[in-house]
Structure 1
Amino acid sequence: MTCHDAGATLTAEHTTTRRICLLGNPNAGKSTLFNALTGLKAKVANYPGITVSKMVGELNVDGQQMMLEDLPGTYSLDAISPDEQVTTEAVTGDDHPDALVVVLDATSLRRSLGLLAQAQHTGVPILVVLSFCDELARRGGYLDAAALGRALGNTVVIATAGDRRQLTDVKHALAAPELWDTPELAAPTDPALVQAWVDSVLREADYRAPDSDARTRRIDSVLLHPLWGTLIFFATMYAFFQVIFTVAAPIQGWIEDGFAWLSELSAAHIETPWLQGLVADGLIGGVGGVLVFLPQIALLFLMISLLEASGYMSRVAFLMDRVMGKAGLEGRAFVAMLSSVACAIPGIMATRSLPSAKDRLATMLSAPLMTCSARLPVYTMLIAMLVPQEAKVGTFGLQGTLMFAMYLLGAVVAMIAAWVAKRLLGRRGTNLPFFMEMPSYRRPHLRDVIGGVWNPVKSFLMKIGRVILVLTLVLWALLNLPVASQDRMAEAGIDTTDEAAVATYQLDNSYAASMGKAIQPVFEPLGFDWRITVGVTASLGAREVFVATLGQIASADDPEDPAAALEKMTWTEGPHAGEKLFTPATLAALLVFFAFALQCTATIAVLRRESGSWKWPAIAFGYMFVLAWGSAWLVRTLVELAG
């Protein structure tokens, strides 16, 4: 039998709230244990840099109230990066915890014991939790947990993911830190003596290291190959973006039909004209125009969750370490870039795992160029307008191919930006080692995958309910005020019985039109009229608002078929009056502009917080706007010449 249970049963009385910190190496299973104990949803993945700040949750066991803190993973309490500094200060600072839970990976126990040796000198009670004992047994390893506890002088319990009995044992142990075993003599501090101490502990525990996983070794011989591994990764991503359009399209159509029905229902039952416009155009046309892209968002995170839960993403990080090296950065920077695919905010926060301040700045200044999920609704809408659904590249859909190209473009430009930033900031500094777990391939747990999809989908829905809804209502007011009088429209030669003509006149003479026309000269060389300009400006709050803005405008023009109204839009005035607005050149320019522009106030705020100055957000916003405008103008010019 592997990982024999230490068999500890602890009970005690305590009335105050205890503060207990979870400490361990990256990928040791801390966050999984934290989630199981607290019921929270801390992100779990098979590579370092996922937990970069403390996660706090509460636990009540037998009337004992506890506050648990999931600390960033570290290999040592001698911090070399900001996230490790968070851990060191939490454990050794003046405000130290009441107890520590040190999570040790049974499959890599030799390496894990070094951190425990340091923790024993903190003077606080320690509970040792062994994780991955099932993995140790599967790979032919062995460990006597009771003997390990005697050798360490600490209470040892086992926690295997999904084992409720073992989780109950951990909970009961947490309720009585005063009954945990304490070593009579703490581990030595001298590195040479620590190694000897580790050897003696492993002998006493009858520890036999697990064999290398034959299946994992065979798969890695292909997936970690510099050429074939990289090609397989790109092929995987390419196939994924094909799925986004083929699978999500019918679901998106059902959602669009649902909102069209709601719009007709509101028009039929709401008699007050302004309220009808608010509901049909503002809420349904605006917010509904963003919600229809929910299937694409869900599919994006389903893909990411499957790759992370299976262990494949750590292989991608290993492959990309070579690419990051070309940009003068290290593998930890890839974690920040990868996190930015979901959202630039966790990507920027993940730079805390980088030891070098210059590397952190270079990565923070380039991470927002990675294609985040907020760009997905914009890309999906523009690509659908630019490329017919039936268009193919060989046997593959052209829409999915173009979406893949946009994600690839963001990644390539982010690497180039990081390379430039690193050289402008200076290359001097100590290159520190980058450790990264290569776990065995595992079958993804359904609960983890569902959580990996639901959490970002929930965030997307909350963003719609809080940010996008508010901005949409503000935009509706700007697009519909001041209300044009019958006399004013008659003077302008507008047939007041023609609803389409009235709606067009109202839009063209609204507050939004006045602001858009004032800014239009900046964007007119890119082919953007005042309506697109208003959408681009509003998207500074959230990129998805661009979709909501155009959705409102199109819904006002043609409530029956806003998508068709969008494609038929023409310039309303100026030298281009009467010409089609959304030409291939303009659509291509919009795609490129959104690929590079920093249109997210939340990202700017986090960049300010992480860099400690407004200087760097200003630089990031400025260079990305120049890059976006210049690239959009160039692409528009090339498309026009080609057309």
Structure 2
Amino acid sequence: MLRVAIIGNPNTGKTTLFNALTGLRQRVGNFAGVTVERVEGGFKGPDGRRITVLDLPGSYSLSAGSPDEQVALEVLLHRDADRWTPDVVLVVIDAVHLERNLFLASQVLELGIPVVIALNQFDVAQDEGIAIDVPELIHELGVPIVPTVAKRGEGLDPLKRALITAASLPAPARKFVLPADVEDALAPLKSCLVEAGLTPTAAGMEALRLLSVSKSEPHLVTVPQLQVQIQDAMATLKNRGFTPNRLESEVRYAWIAGVIERTVSRPRTIKQNLSDQIDRIALHRVLGPVIFLVLMAVVFQAVFSWATPLMDGIEVLIGALGGAVGDRMADGDLKSLVVDGVFGGVGSVLVFLPQIAILFAFITLLEHSGYMARAAFLMDRIMRTVGLHGKSFIPMLSGYACAVPGVMATRTIEDPKDRLATIMVVPLMSCSARLPVYTLLIGAFVPATSLIPGLTLQGATMLGMYLLGTVAALAVAAIFKRTLLKGPVRPMILELPPYRLPSAWSLLVSVAQRCQLFLRRAGTVILALSIVLWAMATYPKSAVDASLPAEAQQEQQLEHSVLGQIGHAIEPVVRPLGYDWKIGVSIAASFAAREVFVSTMGTIYGVGSENEAALTEKLVAETNPVTGQRVYTPLVAIGLMVFYVFALMCISTVAVTVREAGGGALGWKWATIQFGYMLVLAYVAAWIVYAGGTALGWGG
């Protein structure tokens, strides 16, 4: 087996190339001891050998300034906790921005590992009139270089052959010569690193890199005398007229300038490219935010309108399966478990898979097309008013899909206080797990009235829930940045990548991975909870009035079950919000995962062999047996959605917050603060909606 680590600057098409090489044969996890996502895949090489590929986090350099860059450095220096040692490093370079990308490549060339360079987006460079002399560039760098167009799969076969060939070639070395005074000053530091286990070539790269490191890196703390050697080297260099913290960038870019001069020719007149023309409108002070809002409205309207046929199909399929299974089983508890517990619980959540897939597709499209960075730029002005900058909006926008990767995405934020403030508010962004709750309640209680062409009241309500979470996140961030996490607002440095048409295959892979995670969750957590809830709703058995209709008998049994008793105990707490005990039980159960609210409702109302429309009908028809009033009204539905906008109901998010916020007691402290303030906010906001609406006469 051949192990290949793939690395590159952000926006080089690295992930698209990784997806093109490995397809759906990927597994996602975390690097040992950290929450940095680890994506690994594989393919069969031309010689039949199995090639495993590890997609390292995108990095502009091996600076280890953030957790993801530190992980990349650990792997490349053979110090990964999992002992994942690459045989070959594949460096992905953007052919249009060769000069900037060669900085990282020059560092990797000095690590003592065979290297292959993918000159990606080669077609874009040609379209812009940039001519790259690839044979001369190979001569300059001394490693195999393959032009590729990842989104179209061009150059993949030569790239696979180059990886196999490179594994048997000598490792490259530094391509430029340091001044003798610099080599002499760095010699003791280099010897110290060699004694710590680095190869001589990697030690040379590290010695030069450490001159610009402003603070001690965790993986170097245990190296004896390292800090002393760094300080001695810096003092010696200063005495000899050098500026230590600028030395690496100066010598590398001086070498890169010579390489570019000998290998690249550009047109004399630079015409404004398409991205610049689009940005004149997309980044306009007035039109830009309007366009962003319109895009979000389109997304949430599509979640309703586009998904409906697919949802109807899944409803029919689940109903047919539930009916077919139920017809072949004798009446009794086992049949009830399968039909009401499994099909009623899990089936009522699975029906929302098309909506979740559409939401993930839009989020992925925004990321891969280059618009996500523009959204951060547009939001920078607003974010600064709350004490953050636009870069914090990227994890928040990712939180629309799922809070877990959103929290993990904060690792690109350099300032610890800004990072922690962003972590604390990311879960307020309405994630895909809230979609089943929103869709169920909006579909039941909000009419599909057309507001403007292409936008209905249902889509506008959905957009309103997402905007409410976003505004609340900004307000809470402002409070944190003015109290517990007070600090200066730092300037935002963010690259705006060119607009690109995303690869259909890469888009498919990303959406398929997220849908797979949702299905796994439905088949494990939600299934287990549905079975437990069914048992709690079924036992203990109680005597029922046989003269009553079947639904009334079921209601009697539910009242006296364990679930009913727990619900009545919870009811005084949720009654001020306008909820009955059934809603209270569903809320309590969904603290494990928000989707469980819908599956709990499906179990309570026994709609296992029917479709999702049956659950909607039962909610609309539900009345209080004492007063005869409807339990669910539009006001109650809005208040319930508002509760779910604010409440943190996701064990996975709590766990990742603990780890990202520092781990141990410190991590638990911030996770507790996060869970507590969100629960209080949810309860108070829901009460204001219900009490205020009732006072205005909207409770009917």
Q: Equivalents in 2 of 1:227, 1:169: separation in Å? A: 47
Q: Equivalents in 2 of 1:143, 1:428: separation in Å? A: 46
Deviation at 1:270, TM superposition (A): 2.4
One-letter amino acid of the counterpart of residue 129, structure 2: G
Deviation at 1:234, TM superposition (A): 0.5
Q: Which runs of 5+ in 2 are unaligned?
A: 29-34, 179-207, 209-246
Structure 1 counterpart of 2:221: none
Structure 2 counterpart of 1:122: 111
Deviation at 1:433, TM superposition (A): 5.0
Structure 1 counterpart of 2:259: 201
Q: Does 1:81 align with 2:139?
A: no
Within the candidate set 588, 593, 599, 2:649 is matched to: 599
Kept in 1, the 8 Å contact 2:389–2:491? The answer is no
Q: Equivalents in 2 of 1:246, 1:53: separation in Å? A: 33
Question: Given the superposition, is the C-alpha separation of residues 207 and 153 from structure 1 closer, same or farther in structure 2, using an over 3 Å criterion?
Answer: farther
Within the candidate set 448, 468, 477, 2:526 is matched to: 468
Kept in 2, the 8 Å contact 1:24–1:103? The answer is yes
Question: Given the superposition, is the C-alpha separation of residues 154 and 431 from structure 1 closer, same or farther in structure 2, using an over 3 Å criterion?
Answer: farther
Deviation at 1:365, TM superposition (A): 0.7
Residue correspondences, number: 609
Question: Given the superposition, is the C-alpha separation of residues 196 and 43 from structure 1 closer, same or farther in structure 2, using an over 3 Å criterion?
Answer: farther
Q: Deviations over 1:569-604 (max 9, x none)?
A: 12346xxx4322112222121011000000011111
Question: Given the superposition, is the C-alpha separation of residues 451 and 213 from structure 1 closer, same or farther in structure 2, using an over 3 Å criterion?
Answer: farther
Within the candidate set 108, 123, 126, 1:134 is matched to: 123
Structure 1 counterpart of 2:676: 622
Percent of aligned pairs sharing the same letter: 41
Q: Deviations over 1:267-298 (max 9, x none)?
A: 54322222232232222222222222223222
Kept in 2, the 8 Å contact 1:101–1:129? The answer is yes
One-letter amino acid of the counterpart of residue 348, structure 2: G
Deviation at 1:450, TM superposition (A): 2.4
Within the candidate set 466, 485, 489, 1:426 is matched to: 485
One-letter amino acid of the counterpart of residue 452, structure 1: S
Q: Does 1:179 align with 2:169?
A: yes
Q: Does 1:332 align with 2:372?
A: no
Q: Equivalents in 2 of 1:41, 1:314: separation in Å? A: 29
Structure 1 counterpart of 2:39: 55
Q: Equivalents in 1 of 2:95, 2:566: separation in Å? A: 63
Structure 1 counterpart of 2:587: 536
Structure 1 counterpart of 2:287: 228
One-letter amino acid of the counterpart of residue 5, structure 2: C
Kept in 2, the 8 Å contact 1:120–1:186? The answer is no
Kept in 2, the 8 Å contact 1:23–1:70? The answer is yes
Question: Given the superposition, is the C-alpha separation of residues 400 and 41 from structure 1 closer, same or farther in structure 2, using an over 3 Å criterion?
Answer: farther
Question: Given the superposition, is the C-alpha separation of residues 58 and 239 from structure 1 closer, same or farther in structure 2, using an over 3 Å criterion?
Answer: closer
Deviation at 1:533, TM superposition (A): 0.8
Question: Given the superposition, is the C-alpha separation of residues 157 and 557 from structure 1 closer, same or farther in structure 2, using an over 3 Å criterion?
Answer: closer
Deviation at 1:162, TM superposition (A): 5.1
Q: Equivalents in 2 of 1:571, 1:436: separation in Å? A: 57
One-letter amino acid of the counterpart of residue 250, structure 2: A
Kept in 1, the 8 Å contact 2:481–2:487? The answer is no
Question: Given the superposition, is the C-alpha separation of residues 625 and 155 from structure 1 closer, same or farther in structure 2, using an over 3 Å criterion?
Answer: same
Q: Secondary structure at the match of 2:150?
A: coil
Q: Equivalents in 2 of 1:125, 1:566: separation in Å? A: 64
Q: Equivalents in 1 of 2:619, 2:519: separation in Å? A: 25
One-letter amino acid of the counterpart of residue 37, structure 2: S
Q: Equivalents in 2 of 1:317, 1:336: separation in Å? A: 10
Q: Equivalents in 2 of 1:242, 1:77: separation in Å? A: 43
Q: Does 1:590 align with 2:640?
A: yes
One-letter amino acid of the counterpart of residue 317, structure 1: A
Q: Equivalents in 2 of 1:397, 1:251: separation in Å? A: 19
Q: Which runs of 5+ in 1 are unaligned?
A: 1-16, 45-50
Deviation at 1:223, TM superposition (A): 0.6
Q: Equivalents in 2 of 1:23, 1:180: separation in Å? A: 20
Q: Give the superposed CA RMSD.
A: 2.7
Kept in 2, the 8 Å contact 1:117–1:187? The answer is no
**Bigger shift: residues 470-479 or 89-98:** 89-98
One-letter amino acid of the counterpart of residue 169, structure 1: P
Question: Given the superposition, is the C-alpha separation of residues 213 and 139 from structure 1 closer, same or farther in structure 2, using an over 3 Å criterion?
Answer: farther
Q: Equivalents in 2 of 1:533, 1:137: separation in Å? A: 62
Kept in 2, the 8 Å contact 1:584–1:639? The answer is no
Q: Does 1:525 align with 2:550?
A: no
One-letter amino acid of the counterpart of residue 655, structure 2: A
**Bigger shift: residues 578-587 or 631-640:** 578-587
Q: Secondary structure at the match of 1:614?
A: helix
Structure 1 counterpart of 2:332: 273
Structure 2 counterpart of 1:145: 134
Q: Equivalents in 1 of 2:174, 2:650: separation in Å? A: 55
Q: Does 1:481 align with 2:539?
A: yes
Within the candidate set 450, 454, 458, 1:399 is matched to: 458
Structure 1 counterpart of 2:692: 638
Structure 1 counterpart of 2:14: 30
Deviation at 1:185, TM superposition (A): 4.0
Question: Given the superposition, is the C-alpha separation of residues 264 and 60 from structure 1 closer, same or farther in structure 2, using an over 3 Å criterion?
Answer: closer
Alignment of 1:443-592 (within 5 A): 443-484=501-542, 488-489=543-544, 494-496=545-547, 498-555=549-606, 561-572=614-625, 577-592=627-642
Q: Equivalents in 2 of 1:179, 1:325: separation in Å? A: 51
Kept in 1, the 8 Å contact 2:112–2:171? The answer is no
Q: Deviations over 1:1-53 (max 9, x none)?
A: xxxxxxxxxxxxxxxx4443222111112222222233347799xxxxxx953
Question: Given the superposition, is the C-alpha separation of residues 59 and 263 from structure 1 closer, same or farther in structure 2, using an over 3 Å criterion?
Answer: closer
Kept in 2, the 8 Å contact 1:107–1:132? The answer is yes
